[in-house]
Structure 1
Amino acid sequence: MGYRVVSADDLEPEPDRPCTLRRLAPSAGLEHVAVNRFDAEPGEQLPLAYHYHDEQEEAFYVLSGTLHVETPERTFVVPAGDLFAVEPGNPQRAYNPEDADEAVEVLAIGAPPVRDDVHAYDPDGEP
């Protein structure tokens, strides 16, 4: 693999996302972990839907702003400088609430980077 420096600002955002998503891992040559940068304005969520993974562990490190994460039990409020971790099988929806005063910037890490591992979760029904 060698060494690489990747500037998130130089990467094109993914199209058709609820917020700005830049995938860092492919440009860094990383194959065993997903690394993404999310920038969400007030009222935007990070994932496409409330979801869970079969195998992938996820970690959200808040670079700036405050991230909110809805789970079946409660909503977590994660300030800048803190990390929110999710084990496989646990539903969550990360977002920046509409009444937020600022954008939230998040570095998201997931491993392994399994394809077709994500499932929508209906908080009013069964997964």
Structure 2
Amino acid sequence: MGYRVVDPDSVEPAPDRPCEMRGLTEPAGLSEFAMNRYRAAPGEQIPLAYHYHEEQEEAFYVLSGELAVETPGETYEVPAGQVFAVDPGDPQRAYNPADAEEAVEVLAIGAPQTTGDAKPYESAESDGVERLTE
């Protein structure tokens, strides 16, 4: 039997991220899906870039604050207690707006657990948002 208890606050934040990201996949011993906890101050984005995943589904459960998610068609506002789900192939950029009054905390889950399937997304209209590869 395999059981583990992980305190996310005991996991060191990943370096070189646009916001605080604590990778929980490895400490929890997960093999089928990836899990990260994010804390983004006003003006910070969660991913390294506006992107899509070739294979991975993603779900963002908002623990506190309000998450903004930019997509090609619209920007969604996701309040605490709600989930934003993304299908493979659909581009998105999750962030905390610069005019937000508080940080946003998010639990992100992705399956299947993959490496290298995140691809940068370039929209037809450039809006000045830096888009880097993950």
- TM-score normalized by structure 2? 0.91
In the alignment, does 2:54 pair up with 1:48? no
Q: Deviations over 1:30-77 (max 9, x none)?
A: 011000000000000000000000000000000000000000000000
Count of residues in Structure 1 that have an aligned counterpart in Structure 2: 125
- Quote the residue 1:27 is aligned against: 27
What letter matches 2:91 in structure 1? P
Distance, in Å, in 2 between the alignment partners of 1:56 and 1:114 is: 7
Distance, in Å, in 2 between the alignment partners of 1:94 and 1:116 is: 19
In the alignment, does 2:109 pair up with 1:109? yes
Greater shift in the superposed pair: 115-124 or 74-83: 115-124
- Quote the residue 2:9 is aligned against: 9
Distance, in Å, in 1 between the alignment partners of 2:108 and 2:61 is: 6
- Quote the residue 2:77 is aligned against: 77
In the alignment, does 2:87 pair up with 1:87? yes
Gaps of 5+ in 2: 126-134
In the alignment, does 2:38 pair up with 1:38? yes
Q: Give the Å deviation of 1:124.
A: 2.5
Gaps of 5+ in 1: none
Question: Percent same amino acid at aligned positions?
Answer: 66
Distance, in Å, in 1 between the alignment partners of 2:56 and 2:108 is: 12
